[in-house]
Amino acid sequence: QPVLTQPPSASASLGASVTLTCTLSSGFSDYRVDWYQQRPGKGPRFVMRGGTGGIVGSRGDGIPDRFSVLGSGLNRYLTIENIQEEDESDYHCGAHHGSGNIFIVVFGGGTKLTVL
């Protein structure tokens, strides 16, 4: 099953852009990842799924188009443009691995985004 690695923290200034990274373990370069936003004290919220070609499907409910995804090799990126105060959150990536009788969902450790 894949292992997802995220840097523990990131920061960006109000109005700027930031790119968060989720790295898949070796051998899983064709996997898509799901991005989730978790505001302080709240449950996670689905942002979107991303692969090497960008977004897969549609954004989650109420997610503005300031959020976008891309991918390259083992890396999956979530970019937030024109950062707002409400974007300060933990961002988690997740993926599911299914093969035959196997179905597993894994998550990365999460990145805490601070808006300066």
Partner 1 sequence: QITLKESGPTLVKPTQTLTLTCTFSGFSLSTSGVGVGWIRQPPGKALEWLALIFWDDDKRYSPSLKSRLTISKDTSESQVVLIMTNVDPVDTATYYCAHRNILDHDAFDFWGPGTVVTVSS
Place of tokens 């009788």: 101
Q: How far is the CB of 39 from partner 1 (least distance, A)?
A: 11
> Which of residues 64 and 109 has its CB atom nearest to partner 1 in the complex?
109
Residues 9-48: x/- map of binding to partner 1 (CB under 8 A)? -------------------------x-x-----xxxxx--
- Rg (the chain; Cα; Å): 14
All residues at 6 or more sequence positions from 100 whose CB lies less than 8 Å from its CB, including other chains? none
20 and 9 Cβ atoms separated by less than 8 Å = no
Residue numbers at the binding site for partner 1 (CB under 8 A): 34, 36, 42-46, 49, 57-58, 60-61, 92, 94, 96, 103-110
